Amino acid sequence: MKRIKNNITAVPFIFLGEKTLKIIKKLGRVVILFAKGLFFGFIPPFQFSKIIDQIYFIGAKSMLLICLVGSFTGMVLGLQGYYTLVKFGAEGMLGTAVALSIIRELGPVLTALMITGRAGSAMAAELGIMRNSEQIDALKTMNIDPVRFLISPKIIASIISFPLLTAVFDVIGILGGFITGSLLLGIDTGTYFSSIELNLVISDISEGLIKSIIFASLVTAICCYYGYYTHKTRAGFGAKGVSQSTTSAVVTSSVFIMAGDYVVTSFLL
Amino acid sequence: MNKEIIRFKNVVKSFGSNLVLDKISFSMFKGELTAIIGKSGIGKSVILKHIIGLLRPDSGEILFEGEPLSCMSEKTKHQLKKKCSYMFQGNALFDSMTVFDNIAIPLTEASRFPLFEIKKKVENIMEKLDLEGIESRYPAQLSGGMQKRVALARALITEPEILLFDEPTTGLDPIRKKEAHRMISDYKDKFGFTGVVVSHEIPDIFEISQRIAMIDNKKIIFEGTPQEITESVHPVIIEFLSK
């Protein structure tokens, strides 16, 4: 081993190997944390009140944000879609273009990104502070499993909230497209909605909802991981550790949402 | 001499390349208050965290009533943990929960007591520790001394057989320090638990402890009674006690 280390040509491979092992270890921890949290969600005693609290925090409190982002996304799509379709004389298909773009892609992706920024960062910060102030250790000393107590309700609540928020985003987005397409640019209301009805199939909706469930799992697993293991970050303990784990949680979740979107789309298409 | 309850046997612990405990061996006895003393950052809290199971030794053994911890089943460890409580140096109170919920949490989450009984138990312990009237307050709204008492109430609510205190007087003024020591001593007599206190409050801690273990340079350099430590001729002990 020493001989290999001394060999200058081996240095990049050693570096690569160490980095790869580190990433695999990290991924393993994320998966185990998520699997444990999900498992506890189905084992009595059920934590209904904590799950409802989390649904309120992740879901209900994100409604305004989702409505705002959804409406503006739909409005922009209405404008851009009209500008493109009118060149081909196909402006009657604007409803289909807006609805399919939102339901299959933008709805689940933007909803997940918005909740990551709002609730995911909060999850990471909350767990990070609890780790730094020994509250997680305190739970362990009291025979309370911190994954069950803290992470499980967040996972279950996310899996319930993400698809519902995505559905809200979809509806608001389609209405946003209607505002610009029909009310501002003059496309017939009937044409706009009937084109959606004619061309949208149930698999488009189910694909969007499947994506949102996958994104919910990704976001919660990543954000909870970074918060729970704040003490293992480079900055370690203290305010810097929490700030680093929160940033990492949001950035990593966002990257995984985009990458996951591509993978899921390629499988479902 | 009382029955030996916890025994450290050649315990070694390091964090990365930093060796903290080097083959330490000492014992704690039932019904006694054992004080672990030594300079700051020398590994006193690490010893406590090994007892409660937050840390595991790299080598060596921790024995509970003669049985090695490493040989115990998860179920036995779980049962054993139920007998222990830990009072953290920084209190580790849940800052987003009220005082009542903080004290009740070991019972609401890890026991099968009905809610009315939990309420009764919490009210009872709050009365004993002079904490009445602050049930709905949050830890951040309390003084340092009150936070300590809430942490003690949380540690006592399960009626533990072994209570571990990690520097219980940190951040308290001299009067409050004396009060905290008296409180630990009084409650030890009242509740009859075995106590382990990490402290560097010398000589105050000698007044309430029955046994002293001193750690220095990664090893236990003294184990005995408060009287014996004051009579010790070990140069490190003499230097430590004189400061």
Q: Does B68 score more than 80 pLDDT? A: yes
Rounded to whole angstroms, the Cα distance separating A151 from A39 reads: 11
**What is the 8-class DSSP label of residue A179?**
I
Size of interface A-B (CB pairs under 8 A): 46
Give the closest-approach CA distance of A252 to chain B in angstroms.
27
Q: Which residue of B has its CA nearest to A136?
A: B92
Kindly state the average pLDDT of the residues B208-212.
92
The pLDDT of residue A243: 92
Among the listed residues B9, B5, B90, the one whose alpha carbon sits nearest the alpha carbon of residue B45: B90
Closest by CA position to A226, among listed A90, A123, A135, A150 = A123
Pick the residue from chain B with its C-alpha nearest to A46. Answer: B109
Report how far residue B103's alpha carbon sits from residue B97's, in angstroms, rounded to the nearest whole number.
10
Predicted pLDDT at B112 = 83
Average pLDDT over residues B22-46: 91
Mean of pLDDT over chain A: 93
Facing residue for B109 by CB, picked from A137, A141, A144 = A144
Q: Above 80 in pLDDT, residue A179?
A: yes
pLDDT in tens, A72-99: 999 999 999 999 999 998 989 999 999 9
The torsion defined by the Cα of A164, A165, A167 and A168, in degrees rounded to 10, comes to 120
Q: Which of A130, A138, A149 sits opposite B88 (nearest CB)?
A: A138
Between B164 and A45, whose confidence is greater? B164
Confidence class of residue A6 from pLDDT cuts 50, 70 and 90?
low
Sequence spans of domains, chain B: 93-159
Where does the pLDDT of residue A1 fall: very low under 50, low under 70, confident under 90, or very high at 90 and above?
A: low
* Structure-token match 């985003």, residue found: A169
Mean pLDDT of the region B57-77: 90
CB distance A134–B95 less than 8 Å?
no
Compute the average pLDDT of residues B201-228. 90
Kindly tell me if the per-residue pLDDT of A191 is higher than 60.
yes
Contact of B38 with B214, CB cutoff 8 Å: yes
For B142-170, the DSSP string reads S-HHHHHHHHHHHHHTT--SEEEEESTTT
What's the rounded Cα separation, in Å, for the pair A47 and A234?
A: 34
Q: Is A46 on the interface with B (CB under 8 A)?
A: no
pLDDT greater than 60 at residue A207: yes
Q: Is the peptide bond before B203 cis (omega within 30 degrees of 0)?
A: yes
**Number of CB atoms found within 10 A of residue A25's CB:** 10
Whether B153 and chain A come into contact, CB under 8 Å, resolves to no
Residue B199 in this model has a pLDDT that exceeds 90: no
The span from the CA of A257 to the CA of A255, in Å, is 5
Would you call A105 exposed, middle or buried from its count of C-beta atoms within 10 A (0-12, 13-18, 19+)?
middle
Q: What is the pLDDT of residue A3?
A: 58
Residues 6 or more apart from A220 whose CB is under 8 A from it?
A34, A37, A120, A123, A151, A154, A155, A158, A159
- Confidence (pLDDT) at A2: 55
As for the ipTM of the complex, it is: 0.88
State the pLDDT at residue B183. Answer: 79
**Domain edges within chain A:** 47-268
A18-58 pLDDT per residue, tens: 999 999 999 999 999 999 999 999 998 889 999 999 999 99
Indicate the residue of B81, B92, B95 with minimum beta-carbon distance to A137. B92
**Distance in angstroms (rounded) separating the CA atoms of residues B7 and A148:** 32
On whether the CB atoms of residues B158 and B113 are closer than 8 A, the answer is: no
Cα–Cα separations (whole angstroms), residue B80 to A194, B6, B77, B104, B161: 68, 12, 5, 20, 10
On the CB side of A160, CA atoms within 13 Å amount to 19
Residue B134 neighbours by CB under 8 Å, 6+ apart: B99, B126, B142, B146
Which chain B residue lies closest to A131 (C-alpha atoms)?
A: B92
The shortest CB-CB distance from B78 to any of A130, A138, A143 is to A143
